Amino acid sequence: MIAYVTVGADDIAKAERFYSAFLPALGYRLEEHHGDLSYILPAEPGQSPVQPDFHVKSPFNGEFASAGNGAMVAFQARSQKKVRDLHDAALAAGGSGDGRPGFRACYGPHFYVGYLRDPQGNKIALFSSDPDEPGRDR
């Protein structure tokens, strides 16, 4: 089980604007620790924590943050419309497009995904794979 994911950022304020444009709509709440951002999925009282957490931090080594080549974090949305809405919100909040929401021929017929880059260049996917929604033609 993945417990948490961390991406680096040099400008935490830009990162907060970007991630707060869509993560709260997916159920995450923001907690700040020492100037860094932690997006946590709330657990019911008496329940174990829900994972994974998502953290945005300045690199510990003091160097500039950089996006990993081939690295990507994917967040699941409840519907294709939610993918489109959150993709648009993230773009308006300082992200850049890396693939408009839609179906991809190399994935299953119900995998609907949009790709973004956060202000630091980290690649983010927003996807839905609800078999009850229309799929792509084969």
Rounded to two decimals, the pTM is: 0.89
Q: Reduce the DSSP state of residue 89 to 3 states and report it.
A: helix
| 4-59+71-128: CATH topology | 2,3-Dihydroxybiphenyl 1,2-Dioxygenase; domain 1 (3.10.180)
* Confidence band, pLDDT 50/70/90 cuts, at residue 35: confident
What is the arithmetic mean of pLDDT over 19-23? 98
pLDDT confidence of residue 29: 95
Looking at this protein, which amino acid is placed at residue 59?
P
pLDDT confidence of residue 137: 73
In this predicted structure, the answer to whether residue 16 has a pLDDT above a threshold of 90 is: yes
pLDDT confidence of residue 105: 83
Kindly state the tokens that stand for 96: 């850049």
In this predicted structure, the answer to whether residue 138 has a pLDDT above a threshold of 70 is: no
What is the arithmetic mean of pLDDT over 94-109? 94
Residue burial 72-85, b: 16+ Cβ < 10 Å; e: rest: eeebebeebebbbb
Considering the chain, what percentage of its residues have pLDDT values greater than 70? Answer: 99
* Confidence band, pLDDT 50/70/90 cuts, at residue 5: very high
